[in-house]
Structure formats: structure tokens, C-alpha cells
Amino acid sequence: MFLEQVVTKPDPYAPFLLSQAIKANGFVFVSGQAAIGDNGEIVGEGDFDRQAGQAFGNLDRALKAAGSGLDKVVKVTIFLRSMENFAKIVELRRKWFSAPYPADSIIEVSSLYSPKAMIEIEAIALDGSH
């Protein structure tokens, strides 16, 4: 199996020794995308809407760097610090995805990689050849 690392410019995840995504066998596996700005810092501390917008934007950027896109996502997992934001996730899915909507798991967690992070999104998508 051939693995290809996907890199975005800038790559705020490089210091953490992980790939933005990996392409393998027609799929793109995207690492958890949080509300990290280009400077490596959390965007919108305490503001779920800004953080969610940044996280979805980061997901979009990683997919495009892989030659894929949001329209090719087959599965997402969304980690939330609070299920109080569940209704907002439904609206965000409507904004960022289109039918047929990807399979999805939404999980409430007690913490993410930073205590400032409120959301993280990982995805599996088809690569651009499909």
C-alpha cells in the first residue's frame, strides 16, 4: 500500500509530528482539524461559532491539498467539548456539506489537545480520482 502525506501551507500541525492528512488506496484520511490559525494559535477563544468556522475551514483546506473536497467526504467525526452546541453542528453541516451528507459521529469529550479548543473534526474522503 502506498501512503502519501498531505501538507498544507502553512502547516500549523508540523510541530506535533502528524500529517494534515494521508492519502491511501483512493481515500484521504484527515487528521482532527481544530480552530488553529495559520500562526498555530487557537482562533476565537471562548467563541464556538468562530472556532467551528475555523475548524471546518481547516478541514476544507486539508482536503483541497489532497486533491479532494468537502463533496467527497464519506465520514466525519466531530468532537465537541459540549453537546450544547449540537444544534449548531446541524447548521454547520448544512453550510459546509451537501446531500448526500456524510456519515457522522458526534462525540462529547472532556478535553481536546488544548483547553481552549471547543471542537475538532476528522474526516475520511475519497481522493480526487474517484
What's the pLDDT score for residue 130? 61
Residue 129 near residue 69 (C-beta atoms within 8 A) = no
Write out pLDDT tens, residues 49-61. Answer: 999 999 999 999 9
Asked if residue 62 has pLDDT above 90, the reply is: yes
What is the average per-residue pLDDT within 107-121? 95
pLDDT score for 18: 87
| Structural domains of the chain, ranges and CATH numbers in brackets | 3-126 (3.30.1330.40)
8 Å CB contact between 59 and 121: yes
pLDDT for 40 equals: 86
* pLDDT confidence of residue 1: 67
Calculate the average pLDDT of the chain.
93
Say if residue 92's pLDDT is above 80.
Answer: yes
**8 Å CB contact between 86 and 106:** yes
Q: Which of 101, 54, 53 is nearest to 76 (CA)?
A: 101
Percentage of the chain surpassing pLDDT 90?
Answer: 82
The model carries a pTM of 0.93
The residue assigned the cell 458526534 is 106
- The Cα-based distances of 21 to 12, 87, 108, 114, 126 in angstroms read 13, 28, 23, 20, 12
**CB under 8 Å to 71, separation ≥6 — which residues?**
97, 98
Do 2 and 127 touch, CB atoms closer than 8 A? no
pLDDT value, residue 47: 97
Other C-beta atoms lying within 10 Å of the C-beta of residue 51: 24
The answer on pLDDT for 2 being more than 90 is no
Q: What's the rounded Cα separation, in Å, for the pair 42 and 55?
A: 10
Lowest mean pLDDT among 2-11, 67-76, 101-110: 2-11
Here the cell at position 13 is 500541525
